Each structure stands twice: as C-alpha cells, then as structure tokens.
Amino acid sequence: MAFATKKGASAKLRSAAFKRVRADHSAELAEDYVEMIADLIDERGEARCTDLALRLGVANATVVKTMRRLQVAGLINQEPYRAIFLTSDGWKMAEDGRRRHALVEKFLLALGVTRETARIDSEGIEHHVSAETLKAMAKFLARNGG
Amino acid sequence: MAFATKKGASAKLRSAAFKRVRADHSAELAEDYVEMIADLIDERGEARCTDLALRLGVANATVVKTMRRLQVAGLINQEPYRAIFLTSDGWKMAEDGRRRHALVEKFLLALGVTRETARIDSEGIEHHVSAETLKAMAKFLARNGG
DNA sequence: TTGGAAGTTTAGCATTTGCTAAATTATTTG
DNA sequence: CAAATAATTTAGCAAATGCTAAACTTCCAA
Ligand SMILES: [Mn+2]
Ligand SMILES: [Mn+2]
Ligand SMILES: [Mn+2]
Ligand SMILES: [Mn+2]
C-alpha cells in the first residue's frame, strides 16, 4: 500500500547515513594502525607491536591479534617475532590516511581551536569526512590561513 | 632511565586521542538510538522497535538487544511488547544530542557541502566533536550564513 | 470472536575489539 | 656463553554489535 511504501522509502534514505557510519567504523581501525606503522617506520626505521600498543593505549595482545587481521587483509607483512612491514596496499592506505588526517587537523586549527583539541578531535573526525566535505575543508583552508 | 621515561610520556600523550575516540564510540550507539526514539515520539507519538530497525538499517533483533542495554543504563523504559519511553536521563541525552547534531549539520552546510552530504557526514562526525570545537563551529556559523 | 498479519522477543550464532596471564622467543649484558 | 630482560605470541575470557530463524503476543478486520 502507498503509505507503507512511502514510509519504507523514507526510512531507507535515513538508514543510508547509519550504514555509512558503520562502514566508516569498520575501516577505521585498519586505517589508524597502518598510519601509525608508517609513522614508526619513518621515525625510527621499524614498527614493533609494543610501540603500537603504547601509542594506541591498548594491550599488546590486542595489537598482535589485529596484526593477524591486517596481514590477512594484505596490508602488512610480518614474520613471527619480527618487526612489521607495510605492503604496497598498506603504504597506499597509510598515505591516503595521512593526507586526509592532516587536512582535517589543519582545518580545525584554522577554525580556531587549540593545537591539542585539533589533534584529539581530528583522530575521530577524519574517518567520517566524505570526499566532498574534505574538498570543502581544503577550500576553506586555501582562503583562510592554510 | 631518562629515555624510557620520555618515550613513555610521549606515547601516553598520543594514546589519549585514541582513548577519546574509543570512548566516543562507546557512547555513540546510545546517543543515536535515544535521539531517534525522541524523534519518533515527537513525530508519531510513540517509538517502536520496528521503526528504529528500519531507520537504522539493522535487524529487529539487534534493536531489541540494544533496548535491553539502554534500559539497564537507565535511558529508556519499556514493558514487554509495548512501545519505548525515554527516562528523564534519556530525554536529556536526546536533546543534547539533537543540539550538537543540528549544529554540526548546519556547520557543514555553511561550509558549502550539499544537503545530502551534510546529513550523512554529520551522523558520524557529531560524536567526535569536543565542546571547544563545537563552540568554534557555532562562531563560524554566527559569522557566515547561520 | 476468532484468524491472520504485524510486531516483539528468544535462541543461537559470528565477528570485532578489548583484557590478563602464561608460554615462548629474541636480545642484551655480565 | 649463560642468565636476565624485553618482546612477542598463545590461550582463554568478555562485551558489543550484528545476523537469521523460530516462537510468542497484540491488534485489527472479517
Ligand atoms: Mn583516526
Ligand atoms: Mn545524532
Ligand atoms: Mn550519529
Ligand atoms: Mn566514529
């Protein structure tokens, strides 16, 4: 009947936003880990589970388990008891993530919040910013003190 | 030794951002559910599991399970097989969430993205915006077409 | 008033993300 | 080189969030 159809269509439209958020959250962990592995490799030549655990504020065993999933996903390579390496897919994800993350952080700074707040808020916000919004932020930055 | 202390302190600083993100995500589900329950009550007099499931894009059983947790958390009241009511804590959370959500959405619009993008991106971003960033967004809105 | 549609709950399962404690391997130091 | 220390992995657990299928209750309409 007409009413049910209209109701269904409207709900379907609404639910799209929540589906996007759930998809963002599925990708989020991998993005943050891979970005941090790239940072560690650049800063000190290698990435180890302990450093990841320390920086993420989680237990070592949690990192180890996640490494297994990232390896299965083709983002990292790791021999038992050795340091972690990024695959080319991993490097691509890390660099895309860095660009996006840096842009969001700079945007928040330009908006007028403190360094600390920009650093903290951007860590969560970065994963929910669409290409269109990212572009709008870049445009804002270009106008205001980018 | 001095080096370990310095390294530990720096990692602790970094990990704070991730801890905030994890805390945000713990709160997120309750916030979205409660806000939607408030919307349904306002729009049609009552909130039922089926409508929540439709709008969230999840299965009915998922909503039912979440309702139990929200009841334990003191945010809703529900008799078996009846509609869902918000407690006063639930209403407070819903109204705070609405204000914040609406502000973020308006901010994105003012930044120049389309209605659709503002609607979708704000659904995720809203949960990671600190009080300070929210204030900065409000200030921006006051200057530009609020 | 009763039968069926619609809504709700339960049961049972899977995945992700976290934890602690114990076992194992690597590395450094005496 | 052997012992101590550090790092890593495994085992086993828990909570949150999702699913489908089956059972149960409510409500409307014939
Ligand atoms: Mn992040
Ligand atoms: Mn919301
Ligand atoms: Mn939301
Ligand atoms: Mn998020």
At A81-99, the pLDDT tens digits run 999 999 999 999 999 999 9
Which residues on chain A are in Cβ contact (under 8 Å) with B51? 11
Give residue A46's domain range: 12-143
Q: Where are the alpha helices (DSSP H) in chain A?
A: 2-44, 49-56, 60-72, 88-111, 115-125, 131-143
Q: Choose between A100 and A6: higher pLDDT.
A: A100
Provide the pLDDT confidence category of residue A2 given band limits of 50, 70 and 90: very low
Residue A39's nearest CA partner among A97, A79, A87, A82 is A97
CATH number at residue A121: 1.10.10.10
Chain B residues touching chain A at CB-CB below 8 Å:
7-8, 11-12, 14-21, 24-25, 32, 51, 54-58, 108, 111-114, 117, 119-121, 123-125, 127-130, 132-133, 136-137, 139-140
Residue bearing the bigger pLDDT, A13 or B65: B65
Position B28 confidence tier, pLDDT thresholds 50, 70, 90: very high
Q: How far is A112 from chain B (nearest CA, A)?
A: 6
What is residue B11's predicted lDDT score, i.e. its pLDDT? 75
Helix (H), strand (E), coil (C) string for A20-49: HHHHHHHHHHHHHHHHHHHHHHHHHCCECH
- In a domain? residue B4: no
For residue B7, the model assigns a pLDDT of 52
Please check whether residue B110 lies inside any domain of the structure.
yes
Q: What's the Cα-to-Cα distance from A141 to each of A65, B56, B78, rounded to whole Å?
A: 39, 34, 48
The first and second tokens of residue A30, run together, are: 């991998």
**pLDDT tens per residue across span A42-91:** 999 999 999 999 999 999 999 999 999 999 999 999 999 999 999 999 99
Whole-number pLDDT of residue A121: 98
In this predicted model, what pLDDT tens digit does every residue of B88-145 receive, in sequence order? 999 999 999 999 999 999 999 999 999 999 999 999 999 999 999 999 999 999 999 7
Confidence (pLDDT) at A79: 93
Is residue A52 within 8 A of residue A41, CB to CB? The reply is no
Per-residue pLDDT reduced to its tens digit, B31-63: 999 999 999 999 999 999 999 999 999 999 999
pLDDT at B3 over 70: no
Give me ligand 3 centre to Cα B56, in Å: 10
Q: Is residue A131 part of a domain?
A: yes
| Chain A residues contacting B via beta carbons under 8 Å | 7-8, 11-12, 14-21, 24-25, 32, 51, 54-58, 108, 111-114, 117, 119-121, 123-125, 127-130, 132-133, 136-137, 139-140
Q: Is residue A119 part of a domain?
A: yes
Please state the domain count of chain B. Answer: 1
Mean pLDDT, rounded, of chain A: 92
In a domain, B129, yes or no: yes
Predicted pLDDT at A14: 87
Token pair for residue A62? Answer: 């949690």
Among partner residues B8, B20, B25, which is closest to A120 by beta-carbon distance?
B20
Cα B31 to ligand 3 centroid, rounded to whole Å: 7
- Judged against a pLDDT cut of 90, whether residue A142 lies above it is answered with yes
pLDDT confidence bin for B10, thresholds 50/70/90? confident
If we measure between CA atoms, which residue out of A57, A129, A18, A127 comes closest to residue B29? A18
Query: Of the candidates B111, B124, B136, which has its C-beta nearest A128's C-beta?
Result: B124
Name the closest ligand to CA A121. 1
Tokens at B54, concatenated = 């439709």
A123 to B55: CB separation less than 8 angstroms, yes or no: no
Mean pLDDT, rounded, for B55-75: 96
pLDDT at B8: 58
- The verdict on pTM exceeding 0.75 is yes
Asked whether residue B7 is domain-assigned, the answer is no
Of A114-118, A135-139, B10-14, B29-33, the least confident:
B10-14
Decide if A90 is inside a domain: yes
User: How far apart, in whole angstroms, are the C-alpha atoms of residue A103 and residue A137?
Assistant: 8
Residue A136 lies in a domain: yes
pLDDT of residue B55: 95
> Cβ neighbours of residue B56 under 8 Å, at least 6 residues apart?
A15, A18, B32, B33, B36, B63
